[in-house]
Amino acid sequence: MCRREEIDALNPSERPDDLDRTDPEKEIRARAEAHRNWGRWGPDDVLGTLNFIDDAKRREAATLVLEGKSIALAQAFDMNGPQRGWRRRTNPVHTMLDTGLDAERGQGFPHGLGGADDVIAMPLQCSTQWDGLGHIFDHGIAWNGRRAGDVVTSEGDLVTGIEHAAAAAIVSRGVLLDVGRHIEQRTGELADGYAITVEDIESTIAAQGESARVGRGDIVLVRTGQFARTRRQGWGEYAGGSAPGLSLTSAGWMHRTEIAAIATDTWGFEVRPNEFDVPAFQPLHQVAIPNMGLTIGEMWNLDELARECAVRGRWDFMLTAAPLPITGAVGSPINPIALL
């Protein structure tokens, strides 16, 4: 290998135009090898980049709560959600076990007490959620170089289950990058299929100013505007269809900034279609989760937060986004809260 090829292997291009659109295997492998964090936190690590959130980062996040204003960042969890049945993903099914009518007719409790109770059945990744480290594999290998079959079995994720992320208490400095508004100032919405590049990310940060700087332990929220479009036009193919999102070439930026996690307002986080002229599916997931150990969030509602941040000219805040401690799960629904 010549010196130029060695440099390219260590530093894959961050320009989508340089991607070999006929060879996703090569492009994924180059970034997986260049940005791999295996062993960085020891052979037994179960948190990946969430290790970047430490006590100092949480204290920094707490100083950002100036007004006490809280903004919920979750989409709804109901039967009117976006899922269309891909790989058996459905919308939540909410069923009442006891109702007010039951109470009126008597439920057997003493002194007139009545109550309602309910149950919900849903895939853990049907609405606003985190992808766990056991969610995606690279050629049969899971996060930190483990065999996928040793990690996730029919009993669940035996090693990196989402309960570990829950125990880590995901509270950190959040940064909203409103790429949709920066690139499309008139509509605030990127077109489906728009690949967000490192240049786009960095120009958004520059435009938003110092409070949008990104560094170690931060949780980055990228607003594309696609969710806002669904509010007007209906879900359409939001779940699994074409979408704006992060380019595969942005992996290096995520690695060198040492962010703890990243989330978007889209179904799949990365641009769809996936930048190749041959079959490919979620190549950035394949680099980010099993190789970088990066926690990824999807289907967040970032519109109100974007409006409030724009009014204040301040783009960072305290963010709390703990998953449910579901033992062995490879993902979890969440209701993230931004505190300004």
Task: Please give the pLDDT value at position 152.
Answer: 98
Q: What is the pLDDT of residues 219-268, one digit of tens each?
A: 999 999 999 999 999 999 999 999 999 999 999 999 999 999 999 999 99
Contact 168, 133 (CB under 8 A): no
Parent domain of 293: 16-84+123-339
Number of domains in the chain: 1
Is residue 290 one of the residues assigned to a domain?
yes
Burial class from Cβ neighbours inside 10 Å (0-12, 13-18, 19+) for residue 80 reads: exposed
Is residue 95 one of the residues assigned to a domain?
no
Task: Please give the pLDDT value at position 242.
Answer: 98
Task: Please give the pLDDT value at position 4.
Answer: 43
Alpha-carbon gap, residue 191 to 93, rounded angstroms: 31
Indicate the average pLDDT of the chain.
96
CA dihedral 124, 128, 134, 135 (to 10 degrees): 90
Is residue 53 one of the residues assigned to a domain?
yes
The DSSP element (H or E) to which 331 belongs, if any, is strand 331-333
Is residue 1 one of the residues assigned to a domain?
no
Task: Please give the pLDDT value at position 199.
Answer: 98
Is residue 159 one of the residues assigned to a domain?
yes
Any idea what the CATH number is for the domain that residue 45 is in?
3.50.30.50
The conformation of residue 288, written as its DSSP 8-state character, comes to I
Question: What is the spatial order of strands in the sheet that 219-222 belongs to?
Answer: 70-72, 337-339, 316-320, 171-177, 219-222, 261-264, 295-298, 129-131, 331-333
Specify the pTM.
0.95
Checking if the pLDDT of 50 tops 70, the result is yes
Is residue 117 one of the residues assigned to a domain?
no
Mean pLDDT for the stretch of residues 39-57: 98
Is residue 10 one of the residues assigned to a domain?
no
Is residue 207 one of the residues assigned to a domain?
yes
